[in-house]
Amino acid sequence: MKNLSIVRVISLLLLAPAVSANDALPKTAEKFEVNGHTTYLYAAPQPGAGKPWVWYAPVIKGFSLAGKKVYFEGFLRGGISLAGMDLGEVRGGPASTEQFTLFYNEMVKRGFSPKPILLGQSRGGLMTLAWGMRNPDKVQAFVGIYPVCNLETWGMKNLTVTLADYQLSEAEMRARLSEFNPLDNLKGLIEKKVPMFVVHGDVDKAVPYQENSLILKTRYEAGGAPITVKLIPGEGHQATPSFFESKELLEFVLKQAGAKAP
């Protein structure tokens, strides 16, 4: 089965736009400002139809996904651009979501797809899901790498940062948690049947699977929407091949960007 999966990924890459030796992948990101915030863009040399792109978070003083060779090369050679905006340590508050929308509008203005694939790693999951729950019609798919999904548990353990982002007192924040928690606001994404793929470790202590991806999976499936969760036994919040060389994740993104399996 493993060999079959690899063959399928190779087939998808072959079906994607060809990248010749003269179409070298960008070594550095194009940077531009959106309302005073730095945005990073790695444009695919041969973009796929509709100029698909992966919106990655968190982007804080750099674009860490660019260092993950399997995804970086796989996406770009598949015609999928990578982009993200540095808002610092935000937690999905309405104000920071509005800033992300300005970034989204700029990307669309530059000709990129109006329906990006959201990819949230760790706390980036909270950032992207919070934007997605408010803009379900603008999301092609969601991908999570041990993503934070639960504002009520994880977010409230980081009170100083969370309250600063939401601009509320602790009492106000706790009273309105169900209004802001992505896990309580999946209705729009479910109605649009936005596909999701998540990879998470079963012994993750930083972002516990049971409090985050498991609840996301349970509620999403209950609503009849498509979600795949790959649970990694014995691994936690780590930068291992299980999370950053996942053939299933790469295959999912390529498919959502329009590369069809034979």
Q: CATH number, domain at 151?
A: 3.40.50.1820
Distances from the Cα of 141 to the Cαs of 90, 118, 160, in angstroms? 21, 6, 31
Strand arrangement of the beta sheet that strand 227-232 belongs to: 30-34, 37-42, 81-85, 53-57, 117-121, 141-145, 196-201, 227-232
Q: Tell me whether residue 22 is in a domain.
A: no
Check the CA dihedral 168-180-157-161 and report its sign.
Answer: negative
Is the pLDDT at 6 greater than 80? The verdict is no
Say how many CA atoms lie within 13 Å of 242 toward its Cβ. 17
Q: Is residue 1 part of a domain?
A: no
Q: In this predicted model, what pLDDT tens digit does every residue of 128-171 receive, in sequence order?
A: 999 999 999 999 999 999 999 999 999 999 899 999 999 999 99
Q: Which two tokens stand for residue 123?
A: 């706390």
Q: Please indicate, yes or no, if residue 72 is contained in any of the structural domains.
A: yes
Nearest-CA neighbor of 50 among 97, 119, 117?
Answer: 117
25 falls within a domain: no
Mean pLDDT of the chain: 92
**Domain range holding 65?**
30-257
Residue 244 has pLDDT above 50, yes or no: yes
Locate 184 and state its tokens. Answer: 């309580």
| Pairwise CA distance, residues 116 & 182, whole Å | 18
**Predicted local confidence at residue 8, as pLDDT:** 52
Q: What pLDDT score was predicted for residue 262?
A: 27
**Cα–Cα distance list, 127 to 45, 50, 69, 182 (Å):** 28, 25, 24, 10
- Domain presence at residue 74: yes
The predicted pLDDT at position 158 comes to: 85
In a domain, 249, yes or no: yes
State pLDDT tens for residues 79-138: 999 999 999 999 999 999 999 999 999 999 999 999 999 999 999 999 999 999 999 999
Whether 152 is in a domain gets the answer: yes
User: Residue 72's pLDDT band (boundaries 50, 70, 90)?
Assistant: very high
**Number of domain units in the chain:** 1
Q: Is 6 inside any structural domain?
A: no
Interval 201-215: pLDDT, tens: 999 999 999 999 999
